Amino acid sequence: MIRKKVVVNLARVRDRLVPRVVETQIDKMVFNFTAPRLKKQVLLHSKLDGSPVFCIVHYNAPDYLLLNISQIELLYPKSKIYVLDNGSQRVNIDAVVKGLKRYNNITLFAASTECPNWQTRIGADRFLYSHAKGLQFLLNYAVEQQDEIIVFLDQDCILSRNIDDLFAKFGKNVLLIGARLIDSLVHASFMILQPKRINKLFGKFSLFHEHTSSHEPYHGLCFKAKGKILFLEGKGHDEIPFLTSYSIQDTIYAWHAWYSSRLNPKMLSEGVSVSWFQTVRKLAYEYMEQIHEETIHRRLMPEHG
């Protein structure tokens, strides 16, 4: 009897604090099916309790992922990093685990260990819905860990500098900070938010919305936070195709390669060859390696000043 009263009271409190959010069939397919299983599939667990927290959904690009994390470690050595592998091939998962074992601040989840076929069971494009589900899982996990600020980065989106000044932008009129995709939509390749605040406002399906049928599913958060978004603007590299910088007032905070793990089928239909794509991927990776080396150099400069 006591247990029942507690549940009812909590539900009433939640209903007062959290606005109604339509939980569509898409929500249930992309999140409910795997969230309980993912919690059991922790391959590595962070030993630190740092802030901010960086969240990355990975798929078949361990080279980019490990370079990205090396850069985060340089800029934020006391941070926590959550990585969700989104069903990569075993050889790539093994490479990720091997590369991350030397860190003590990584929590690594694997979506493929217990439920390798979840992406087919949800009946949707895995590169849209499974990625969005991974983002929502990591956001909700951050809420459980009581994390104050999280930074979503694509595996191939590398920070080029410290972003503390962006954290300071949060306030009454800023709920979400991120790279502009089109119009009022933020791309998940670089997205900063306060997880407890977001879930308090929008619930455990905070990234989803019924109006996202013609967009990537996680864009639901952009509709909910409309008018309270601080955008970073994208600009293409002068020589390397697809490589894009994200900046505010000429200050570049990150570079994004876009296609580290797969070639977009639309590009193939437009005559882009696999070899050309591989060359572009290599050039983008080398450019990011250069950014990483420059970051190391900047850190060493004071020691030799």
The answer to whether position 89 is within a domain reads yes
- Region for 250 from its dihedrals, namely left if φ exceeds 0, alpha if ψ lies in -120 to 50, beta otherwise: left
Closest CA to 208 of 15, 38, 32, 13: 32
Distance CA 147, CA 143 (A): 6
> How would residue 145 be classed by pLDDT, with cut points 50, 70 and 90?
very high
Cα 176 from chain centroid (whole Å): 13
Spell out the residues 6+ positions from residue 100 whose beta carbon is closer than 8 angstroms to its own: 44, 66, 69, 83, 106, 108
Chain mean pLDDT for the chain: 80
CATH code (residue 89):
3.90.550.10
| Residue 280 counted as domain residue | no
CB 31 within 8 A of CB 141: no
pLDDT of residue 286: 97
Any bridge partners for residue 186, and if so which? 180
Q: Using one digit for the tens of pLDDT, what is the confidence trace for 4-36?
A: 333 333 334 333 333 333 344 444 544 554 566
164 lies in some domain: yes
In sequence order, which residues have a C-beta less than 8 Å from that of residue 209 and are 6 or more positions away? 21, 22, 219, 220, 221, 223, 224
**pLDDT digits 0-9 by tens, 162-208:** 999 999 999 999 999 999 988 889 999 999 999 999 999 998 888 88
Residue 259 covered by a domain: no
The strand ranges marked E within the chain are: 42-44, 53-58, 80-85, 106-110, 150-153, 157-159, 176-180, 186-193, 229-236, 244-248, 251-256
Separation CA 81–CA 58 (nearest Å): 12
Structural domain that includes position 105 = 18-235
Residue 264 pLDDT class (50, 70, 90 cuts)? low
Whole-angstrom distance, CA of residue 297 vs CA of residue 289: 12
Domains in the chain, number: 1
* Across 68-77, 82-91, 105-114, 186-195, least confident range: 105-114
Q: For residue 109, is it within any domain?
A: yes
Q: Is the peptide bond before 77 cis (omega within 30 degrees of 0)?
A: no
Residues 6+ apart with CB under 8 A from 76: 50, 52, 54, 162
Question: What pLDDT score does 215 carry?
Answer: 65
Asked whether residue 10 is domain-assigned, the answer is no
